[in-house]
Amino acid sequence: MDDVKAVEKLREARDQVMTELRKSIVGMDDVIDQVMISVFSRGHSL
């Protein structure tokens, strides 16, 4: 798998996760993005 296809696959997975999270967390897309960044980078979020 080349890099472009890997990035496309990752983006599709992210979009699916965002779609599911938006069902429970309404109107806080920026917060969802920040939490996902924290989770995937093994960082902390307060």
pLDDT for 9: 94
- Whole-angstrom Cα distance, residue 44 to residue 1? 31
pLDDT for 20: 92
pLDDT for 46: 73
pLDDT tens, residue by residue, 1-46: 799 999 999 899 989 998 999 999 999 989 888 888 888 888 887 7
| pTM recorded for the entire structure | 0.67
- Whole-angstrom Cα distance, residue 16 to residue 29? 14
> Which of 40, 18, 42, 39 has the alpha carbon at shortest distance from 30?
18
pLDDT for 42: 84
Crossing angle for the helix pair 29-40 and 3-24, to the nearest 10 degrees: 130
